[in-house]
A and B are shown apart, each in its own frame.
Chain A
Amino acid sequence: MLSKRVIACLDVRDGKLAKSVKFVDTKDIGDPVQKAREYYEDGLDELVFYDITASSDKRRIMLDVVERVAEQVFIPLSVGGGVRSVADATDLRLAGAEKINVNSAAVQRPELISECAEAIGNQNVVLSMDVLRVAVSAQIPSGYEIVINGGRKPMGIDALWWAREGERLGAGELVVNSIDADGTREGYELNLTSRISKAVRIPVIASGGAGLPEHLYDVLTDGAADAALVASMVHYGDHRISGLKQYLHGRGVKVRMSW
């Protein structure tokens, strides 16, 4: 039986972790490579890097980070943030990323999904979608709207429709990030996650809102997610990857316990 995955997301700006991390050993504060290695050794199933570097001339720094991580972390590595073309995707793949996340650029130009799928294979194209809860309308029948540019710009696109469209265009997996839940640490958006997961046949990764181990349990059961993304709850040392997996295992969720 397939295990549910625990995935850690690291936001990287100019080659450093965007949120400062309180390490016990202060020597390596903010080094994404060390953090990746630490999570890998603690049982992480998959790693996502999100490049939030503002200027494109600093992109090379991110490629170096990916390369250094790929040399010492032997689990799937996914990278996103600012991917606008097949060339961007290919550069990251050569640096060592397995999967490429597309987000805003795919909303503005959906062919990007099919172009990437053609170039690097469907299974390696992850459509990451930022979703905001809105009033139900003729245009947004699900009451969930796609937003871009870090949640600032509503696009008038229904999230459920976009999830199916992304699958049709060749995405191999979806990341569903709830803007409402993001940063609250009060739990994932279960209704959104479960409605999207049941609307597609590709795996769905829940993102946004994780603060406690039971939040992962909820989204992997009631939320019908195939994987749960965690960020600040592990970055600040409140929880460990191995502890989260122990908890899920104890409550009967199938997760990888041998590493």
Chain B
Amino acid sequence: MSLAASLAAAIVDYDAGNLRSVQRACHEVGLNAEIVGDPESLLRADRVIFPGVGAAGAAMQSLHRRGLGSAIKEIIARGTPTLGICLGLQISLDYSEENDTHTLGLFAGNVRHFKLADPSLKVPHMGWNEVRSVKAHPLLQGLEAGDEFYYVHAYYPDPIERSIVYAVSDYEQEFACALGRDNYFATQFHPEKSGRVGLRLLKCFSTWEGTC
């Protein structure tokens, strides 16, 4: 492993799930991504992926313990192209109902638990669902009607500003599944597990300059 001054891409490790599937998918699209768990490495990266699976409470504790919360805010403030995935997106809002957790506040809004009237609908929302673009974004380039992505989550993002919503999905109710502002883009679905359409998003990310 090279200790060069900069990293092509860093995948943030904060004890929130298995990150190797994200890394493998990055390699598949030609993005040399390394898994890093310290603020210094993160700050050296040309682009950053902020993934995560698990509970919001434990994730925030781990981020703070490793000093990564402020590092993530810093890389986003300085313009590094950054992609949040699943729990990474959720803890980017202000607050999550999961474990009553105050989160990073990169986007204004809350994360809420699915409360579904139809008893035949299962929670977590697990499986493939259509992602509909509501606004063009470089990372959603090539997205067509009917394209589906893989989801696993029991909580969903509820941002205050509609202007940051780039795509939505339906699960009894419509919910925002892709949020973005400037150099930060985040998805509730898992591009690394979504076959060709997911790899396409990661490929777009591998050359994205951080503008939208």
Contact = CB atoms under 8 A, between A and B. Distances in A.
A257 B148 CA distance: 8
A3 B21 contact: no
A201 B123 contact: yes
Contact of A258 (B119, B120, B146): B146
Interface residues on B, range: 35 or more
Contacts of A3: 127-129, 148
A75 B150 contact: yes
Interface of A is mostly: loop
Interface residues on A, range: 20 to 34
Contact of A123 (B144, B152, B171): B152
Nearest to A45: B128
B128 A256 contact: yes
A131 to B, nearest CB: 20
Given A40-B195, A259-B195, A5 B130 contact: no
Contacts of B128: 2-3, 5, 45, 256
B105 interface: no
Given A121-B53, A121-B54, A74 B148 contact: no
B127 A5 contact: yes
B40 interface: no
Contact of B194 (A74, A120, A226): A74
A227 B120 CA distance: 13
Interface of B is mostly: mixed
A123 B196 CA distance: 23
A145 interface: no
B20 to A, nearest CB: 6
A87 to B, nearest CB: 15
Contact of B126 (A75, A93, A120, A173): A173
Nearest to B152: A123
Given A173-B126, A203-B122, A226-B127, A258 B197 contact: yes
Interface in A161-199: 172-173, 198
Contacts of A70: 20-21, 24
Nearest to A257: B146
Nearest to A70: B24
A70 B192 CA distance: 11
Contact of A74 (B28, B125, B146, B151): B28
B66 interface: no
B81 interface: no
Interface string A122-152: 0110000000000000000000000000000
Given A75-B150, A76-B150, A94-B20, A224 B120 contact: yes
Interface of B: 17-18, 20-21, 24-25, 28, 53-54, 119-130, 144, 146-148, 150-152, 154, 170-171, 192-199
